[in-house]
Chains A and B, each alone.
Chain A
Amino acid sequence: MNRSHRHGVGSGCLGTMEVKSKFGAEFRRFSLERSKPGKFEEFYGLLQHVHKIPNVDVLVGYADIHGDLLPINNDDNYHKAVSTANPLLRIFIQKKEEADYSAFGTDTLIKKKNVLTNVLRPDNHKKKPHIVISMPQDFRPVSSIIDVDILPETHRRVRLYKYGTEKPLGFYIRDGSSVRVTPHGLEKVPGIFISRLVPGGLAQSTGLLAVNDEVLEVNGIEVSGKSLDQVTDMMIANSRNLIITVRPANQRNNVVRNSRTSGSSGQSTDNSLLGYPQQMEPSFEPEDEDSDEDDIVIEDNGVPQQIPKAVHNTESLESLTQMELNLESGQNGFIPSNEVSLTLAASGTDTEFETRVPNQKLLEEDGTIITL
């Protein structure tokens, strides 16, 4: 409120805002409607246009009020940039292939100068190695060892993330027997083991599982007492986010911790699984559970969409109101007229999607029904 008032006075011209855009060594200046900045795509196109680089993939950044260089890559941060620009919006453009991701950051009040000089003089940054952090849209979960802190050292919990990769999980399991320490001494008990890794599969390429590792749990559920087929079904059912707790056949690569299990580590390993049931609870985030919930629905507009989670209570209300409107036409459960419902359904269609899925067959039934 306060700021917008100031802007109004400062810029002199209410609602417009100056933009200074730099690409390489070139500057361009133009103005934007502050109240109607439009979409990021449009802005992006505009930048390409003013710099005359129509087919170059670029990264767009801006300097915020603290002088931090922040990215603009979606409508949200674009709008944020526009609304906080004071008085002018400074834009920095880099070619995507030459992009220096490390330039972006927030805690850069002190390094502010450096950041900007880095961007301005790209040859400077060769001094220190940089870890490349992808843009958020490129983030994806990867296979990893998890829950190191709560598991006994002899166990390893492995998450195989199939998501986004075309690699097969690529391993086989078999029945076998393992020796356990029980109150009655050593006992041979049946167990499930990794029997084979498929070359190039997720299991082999990540190096997280090895042949003869004993499978103890699948997604938090103990496999003891379960048949090979049961464990197979459990693993396949969880295949999109498979978390396997194993006791590696090779115990030399274990993570060594100097806490908790004091001294009698070697033998207590098997019991520890039973001994610390609370600690064994895996620390999955809530999203984990739903990571496989990307069922797809194709409505009659022919566009595959992910099925969203239901929002409670709103829908019934909506249906109630619509019910009243169309009460006279919905008798007997028969569709009185096809056209009405079709237009209703089609109204929600985004035109841009249609081009994206050319392989989706449009529906034709008997030739009597209007097809979309």
Chain B
Amino acid sequence: MRRFLRSGHDPARERLKRDLFQFNKTVEHGFPHQPSALGYSPSLRILAIGTRSGAVKLYGAPGVEFMGLHRENNAVVQIYFLPGQCQLVTLLDDNSLHLWSLKVKGGVSELQEDESFTLRGPPGAAPSATQITVVLPHSSSKTLYLGTESGSVFVVQVPGFRTLEDRTISSDTVLQRLPEEARQRRVFEMVEALQEHPRDPSQVLIGYSRGLIVIWDLRGSRVLCHFLSSQQLDSACWQRDGRLIVSCHSDGSYCQWPVNPDTQQLEPLRSCVPYGPFPCKAITKIFWLTTKQGLPFTIFQGGMPRASYGDRHCISVVHNGQQTAFDFTSRVIDFTVLSEVDPAAAFDDPYALVVLAEEELVVLDLRTDGWPPVQPPYLASLHCSAITCSHHVSNIPLKLWERIIAAGSWQNTHFSTMEWPIDGGISLAPTPPQRDLLLTGHEDGTVRFWDASGVCLRLLYKLSTVPVFLTDTDPSEHLNAQGEDEWPPLRKVGSFDPYSDDPRLGIQKIFLCKYSGYLAVAGTAGQVLVLELNDEEAEHVVEQVEADLLQDQEGYRWKGHERLCARPGPVRFEPGFQPFVLVQCQPPAVVTSLALHSEWRLVAFGTSHGFGLFDHQQRRQVFVKCTLHPSDQLALEGPLSRVKSLKKSLRQSFRRMRRSRVPSQKRRPAGSPGEVPERSCRTERLGLQNMELAPVQRKIEARTAEDSFTGFVRTLYFADTYLRDSSRHCPSLWAGTNGGTVYAFALRVPPAERRMDEPVRAEQVKEIQLMHRAPVVGILVLDGHSVPLPEPLEVAHDLSKSPDMQGSHQLLVVSEEQFKAFTLPKVSAKLKLKLTALEGSRVRRVSVAHFSSCRAEDYGEHHLAVLTNLGDIQVVSLPLLKPQVRYGCIRREDVSGIASCVFTKHGQGFYLISPSEFERFSLSTKWLVEPRCLVDSAETKNHSRPRNGSGPEKALGRARNSGSQSDGEGVLKEIQSTLEGDRRSYGDWRSQQVAMSQVSRPGVQAVR
């Protein structure tokens, strides 16, 4: 009865809930999906990226990020910043223009759309007449020049988007102003290039696609110069002093034209096909940049020999006799060159090349020899190989953090030492109070370690498990691919590499112990690796063990993939996490669950066949348990390949069709035999007709033990609890299956001094079968105070109070459908929450999180953060299992988003909104990582060189002066209270206060 009544609203609890929970999507990490446009403001030093889904993202100094979304959801085609302004104009593929501006509100800048505009031609004009091909924001910041497909250039006033019709430069006008001899050819068509004179704002270069370039005098409305090329024009560039124009063409050539209004130039000064003599592809964009040294930089996109390298995505840099064709692994969307901003300076002196490729952003240092790449602090390509799993670890000890960074620095030696050149704006976000790691597992067998503490998701270190195995490809092959005298001088850049050598290498589960530095990684072919952090390079043999999960089950045939073949003999490992044990499950099914207990030195792993426990101290298998139901043939045969499941579903639908026809035939009274074929024909036809008309239907049936994949091990959990009797607690291992079964094993771990001498023993003590048979997705033990048991080594490191072992423990089993609390050691049902029965939603992810109050400094509660198959995020209270709050977070159709969700220990979370982007969200009022930044055109205008890391200090100084929230004291207080709230959760913080702040959080100490 109770469940049908609305739970009474307790006002005090409701108030507390408001102090504890609040839902925000805070920031998007990673690289925008399907970027379609690039813009850069040299004055603001801010980069803008537009996407095909209509998003505009702005990036400045690390932490300075803005995001805007066009209502239209159309692709952003071009982005232009208004010179010297905090404003930008976007052109969408529906030919609409949108004006965005960064406005300061409450001390922080916000990106907002001010107005939009669609260019209208005269009535009756063809739509192409107003189809915008290129936009030139005039340096006066009052007008936009819009080049169109018809060849006309329209002038629009901003803000307000008022068309100044009298100033339109139509192709006819230009034609009339041309000298007689140039008029003979129809040279107009669409406008391809529109450039303002670098020194004289009254002159504009207009390039038409047929090859004509004119310099138009805006004041006198006349042609100052014209240049006629024999080739189709793609783009043009004005030299800094305005005395030279460089045009690039569809045949892969570029031409230099000296600008001299007095003498008409018929032929280019110089014409060049850089990758000739064979036919080349078009050069689509070109930069011609002067340097103090005299020799210019020529940087252009495309122009590769059509036959042999036509499929490459290249940008070439030519300077001082050096030439490199940077070869990108994905299509180049656009590029720009960062150079001297001051208009008075004599030379461009470019310092960085920024390339937006379809899958990554690459910045090259043009000042250093060899033009090395600069490591971006944001816009990381999360998907350089597809993400297969992720794992979040909160509050990393400084020691481990530094060691991981040190290991990563070994891998980053090829990066330039240049400061990140795009450094506009000021981040006002408080320094993250703790160090968080996000680990992503990838299809190519790598694990990437990301700094997830703040707004910028930064790659710290990359671990590859591939060297452990023998794979088809030899890594040395790649290195010899290009020799010295290769032409064109291709150089691969970027990290995006979607091709996996072997899908079996894919990482499926990750478990990192932040205290001991032990890492367990498991993959697609049943491989489980235990790794240890080593600061030195080492060469050693990885011990191999096979875990036969089928044990005595017989007569089964594994039709899936072979297991991976381990590399024999010693293997050389670079500094970082180095594997020392390899356990291979047999059959080599994908590892579905993994748990590591670094204190007991045990690792547990599960597949669709069973689970096992491995003692990585003694390098010995403790036990394996087969969880297969004897009738479950599917699980035995192999992984559900797409082909197979399709076949199966086809078979099923045919069967269904047949079945639906059977009753009607049976009911028919036995007639003469001659009648049968005709009638059955008719019923068959009827059946088919019904099939076609019948909508999707769902079978309603209780689950049975015979269902497929019931043995699939979904979750593994180590706990030191009362398993047998209430007098003694002991180490235990818990496993939950897809069929609603929970197994509990009592473990006997020898004491430390005899750890190597005596074997670890295990014995099954309990088996719980949930009658609703829904998959078990989480197991948790609460101590006598109903607080979740601490992580291994947490107590040993004084970071948590030891759990309460006096009161009775509780077992919490979370299935996809229900939350259930049981007493221990005698299992009796205590509480439950039947989620699915109430809402029709199922639990997809569950994780314990600590929620601190935003008001009371030392108040916090442990609860369950839950993600359902409908994309809702809920908080379910501990220990009473009462739903607290519910927020819609992910679209229910976004299956991959829901599958990728990972919660942190403090009520935040991440999920993939595209293959390359994590959305970060927060359920907590306290733990919010979101960009707070200020962009000021006046302030940022006067710096032109890359600054040397003066950002943070400035940010802090600013933070103190501006608004109430970012007030320095407020920040400090916030950090302090967060700390204390945190401590409170681990128990008696008063006694540990001093030790805590000194030992565990040196980073925060520094802030204080």
Residues of A within 8 A of B (CB): 162, 168-176, 195-196, 199, 218-221, 226-240, 242, 281-282, 284, 286, 289, 292-300, 304, 307-311, 315-316, 318-320, 322-323, 325-326, 329-330, 332-336, 338, 341, 344-345, 363, 365-366, 368-369
Q: Determine which residue in B763, B770, B838 has the highest number of CB atoms from chain A within 10 A of its CB, and name it.
A: B763
Q: Are A323 and B806 in contact (CB under 8 A)?
A: yes
* Contact between B622 and A294, CB atoms less than 8 A apart: no
Check B769 against A366 for contact (C-beta < 8 Å).
no
The distance in angstroms between the C-alpha atoms of A334 and B762, with both chains bound, is: 12
Whether A323 and B829, one on each chain, are in contact in the complex, defined by CB atoms closer than 8 angstroms, is no
Say whether B771 contacts A292, CB under 8 Å: yes
**Whole-angstrom distance between the alpha carbons of A332 and B599 in the complex?**
12
B727 beta carbon closer than 8 Å to chain A: yes
Contact flag A322-B726 (CB < 8 Å), given A297-B766, A369-B761: yes
Judge whether A174 and B830 touch: CB under 8 Å. Answer: no
Contact call B731/A333, Cβ cutoff below 8 A? yes
Contact of A341 among B728, B837, B839 (CB under 8 A): B728
Contact between A220 and B702, CB atoms less than 8 A apart: no
12 A-B pairs with C-beta separation under 8 A: A174-B696, A219-B837, A230-B870, A233-B817, A236-B702, A284-B1, A289-B1, A293-B832, A300-B765, A334-B730, A336-B728, A365-B761
Output the nearest chain A residue to B3 by Cβ-Cβ distance. A289
A contact residues around B772 at 8 Å (CB)? 237, 239-240, 292
Interface membership of B826, Cβ < 8 A: yes
A298 touches B834 (CB 8 A): no
Q: A295-B768, A369-B761 known; A173 and B700 CB under 8 Å?
A: yes
By a CB distance below 8 angstroms, the chain A residues around B765 are 299-300, 345
With both beta carbons as reference points, the residue of chain A lying nearest to B746 in the complex is identified as: A335
For the complex, give the distance between the alpha carbons of A96 and B774 in Å.
Answer: 42
Given A230-B870, A307-B768, A310-B829, A236 and B762 contact (CB-CB distance below 8 Å): no
CB neighbours of A289 from chain B (8 A): 1-3
Instruction: Kindly state whether residue B4 has any CB partner on chain A within 8 Å.
Output: yes
A295 touches B828 (CB 8 A): no
Task: Give the nearest-CB partner of A192 in chain B.
Answer: B698
| Contact present for A298 and B766 (CB under 8 Å) | yes
Q: Are B764 and A174 in touch, CB under 8 angstroms?
A: no
The distance in angstroms between the C-alpha atoms of A204 and B749, with both chains bound, is: 56
Contacts of B771 in A (CB 8 A): 240, 292-296
> Chain B interface residue count: which class?
35 or more
Contact partner of B728 (CB less than 8 A), chosen from A174, A242, A326, is: A326
Contact indicator B766/A233 (Cβ below 8 Å): no
Complex partner residue of A230 from B728, B774, B832, B839, CB under 8 angstroms: B839
CA A368 – CA B663 in complex, angstroms? 58
B766-792, CB < 8 A from A: 766-772, 774, 784
Q: Using A174-B694, A292-B771, A334-B749 as known contacts, list a sample of 18 further A-B pairs with CB atoms less than 8 Å apart, ordered by residue number in A.
A: A169-B700, A174-B695, A234-B836, A235-B700, A237-B818, A237-B834, A281-B1, A289-B3, A293-B832, A299-B765, A300-B724, A307-B768, A310-B828, A319-B807, A333-B720, A334-B751, A345-B725, A366-B761
- Determine whether B619 belongs to the interface, using a CB cutoff of 8 Å to chain A: no
B817 touches A172 (CB 8 A): no
Q: Are B827 and A307 in contact (CB under 8 A)?
A: yes
* Residues A237 and B774 in contact, CB atoms below 8 Å apart: yes
Chain B residues, Cβ within 8 Å of A335? 728, 730, 746, 748
**Complex partner residue of B766 from A170, A300, A308, A325, CB under 8 angstroms:** A300
Partner pick for A296 among B750, B768, B837, CB 8 A cutoff: B768
**Could you tell me the distance between the alpha carbons of A232 and B696 in the complex, rounded to whole angstroms?**
12
Contacts A176-B695, A219-B837, A300-B766; is A316 near B807 (CB within 8 Å)? yes
B163 within 8 A of A: no
B257 within 8 A of A: no
Judge whether B9 is part of the interface by a CB distance below 8 angstroms: no
Q: A234-B836, A316-B808, A365-B623 are in contact. Are A199 and B663 (CB under 8 A)?
A: yes
Residues of B within 8 A of A (CB): 1-4, 622-623, 660, 663, 694-703, 720, 722, 724-731, 746, 748-751, 759, 761-772, 774, 784, 806-808, 817-818, 820, 822-823, 826-830, 832, 834, 836-842, 869-870, 892
Taking CB atoms, residues of chain A closer than 8 Å to B703 are 236, 239
Q: Which of chain A's residues have a CB closer than 8 A to the CB of B748? A: 334-335, 338
Q: With A168-B701, A333-B720 as given contacts, are A286 and B766 in contact (CB-CB < 8 Å)?
A: no
A345 touches B842 (CB 8 A): no
With beta carbons under 8 angstroms apart, the residue of A282, A298, A325 that contacts B727 is: A325
Cα–Cα, bound, A320→B748 (Å): 23
Distance (whole angstroms) from the CB of A189 to the closest CB of chain B: 16
Known pairs A236-B701, A322-B727; A363 contacts B870 (CB<8 A): no
Q: Are A233 and B842 in contact, with the CB atoms below 8 A?
A: yes
Q: Contacts of B827 on A, CB cut-off 8 Å?
A: 297, 299, 307
- Given the interface pairs A176-B695, A344-B724, the reply to whether A233 lies near B763 with Cβ below 8 Å is no
Assess A298 versus B728: contact at CB under 8 Å? Given A173-B698, A307-B828, A308-B828. Answer: no
Given contacts A307-B829, A329-B728, contact A234 B622 (CB under 8 A): no
Inter-subunit contact B817/A237 (CB<8 Å): yes
Q: Which residue of A lies closest to B720 (CB)?
A: A333
Assembly CA distance A233 to B815 (angstroms): 13
Q: Which residues of chain B come closer than 8 Å to A325, judged between CB atoms?
A: 727
**Which chain B residue shows the least CB distance to A221?**
B838
Report whether B808 and A315 are in contact in the complex, using a CB–CB cutoff of 8 Å.
yes
Point out which of A281, A284, A299 has the most chain B C-beta atoms below 10 A from its C-beta. A299
Across the interface, B622 reaches (CB within 8 A) one of A282, A310, A316, A366, namely A366
Task: Report the separation of the CA atoms of residues A236 and B740 in the bound assembly, to the nearest whole angstrom.
Answer: 14
Contact partners of A227 in chain B: CB under 8 A: 840, 892
* Across-interface contacts of A309 in B (CB, < 8 A): 828-830
CB of B516 to closest CB in A, whole Å: 18
Is A233 in contact with B836, judged by CB distance below 8 angstroms?
yes
Contact B840 A363 (CB under 8 A): no
- A-B pairs, 9 with minimum CB distance: A230-B840, A319-B726, A239-B702, A237-B836, A330-B728, A326-B727, A298-B767, A234-B840, A232-B698
B826 to chain A, nearest CB (A): 7
Decide: A240 near B702, CB < 8 A? Known: A230-B840, A298-B767, A309-B829.
Answer: yes
Contact assessment for B837 and A310 in the assembled complex, using a CB-CB cutoff below 8 Å: no
Write the chain B residue with the least CB distance to A290: B829
Report the separation of the CA atoms of residues A326 and B725 in the bound assembly, to the nearest whole angstrom: 11
Residues of A within 8 A of B807 (CB): 316, 319
A27 to chain B minimum Cβ distance, whole angstroms, is 49
* Given A230-B840, A307-B768, A325-B727, also A293-B829 (CB < 8 A): yes
Among residues of A, the one whose C-beta sits closest to the C-beta of B743 is A298
A319 in contact with B727 (CB, 8 Å): yes
How far apart sit A292 and B750, CA to CA, in the bound complex (Å)? 41
Closest partner residue, chain A, to B762 (CB atom)? A365
Q: How far is the CA of A330 from the CA of B731 in the complex (A)?
A: 12
Residues of chain A within 8 A of B622, CB atoms compared: 366
Cα distance, A232 to B766, chains bound together (Å): 32
A345 proximity list for chain B (CB < 8 A): 724-725, 765
A169 touches B701 (CB 8 A): yes
Closest to A327 in B: B727
- Cβ-defined contact, A236 with B700, below 8 A: yes
Q: Nearest CB to that of B667 among chain A residues?
A: A199
The smallest beta-carbon distance between B767 and chain A, in angstroms, is 4
**Whose C-beta in chain B lies nearest to the C-beta of A348?**
B826
Known: A228-B696, A310-B823. A318 touches B829 (CB 8 A): no
Collect the chain B residues with CB atoms within 8 Å of residue A311's CB: 828
B residues less than 8 Å from A300 (CB atoms): 724, 763-766
Could you tell me the distance in whole angstroms from the C-beta of B607 to the nearest C-beta in chain A? Answer: 19
- Shortest distance from the beta carbon of B874 to any chain A beta carbon, whole Å: 15
Q: Complex formed: what's the CA distance from A146 to B227 in Å?
A: 91
Find chain B residues with CB under 8 A from A221 CB: 837-839
How many angstroms between the C-alpha atoms of A322 and B722 in the bound complex? 12
Asked if A333 contacts B700 (CB within 8 A), the reply is: no
Which single member of B695, B730, B770 contacts A175 (CB below 8 Å)? B695
Question: In the complex, what residue of chain A is closest to B821 when comparing beta carbons?
Answer: A310
Chain A residues in 8 Å Cβ range of B839: 221, 230, 234
A323 near B726: Cβ-Cβ < 8 Å: yes
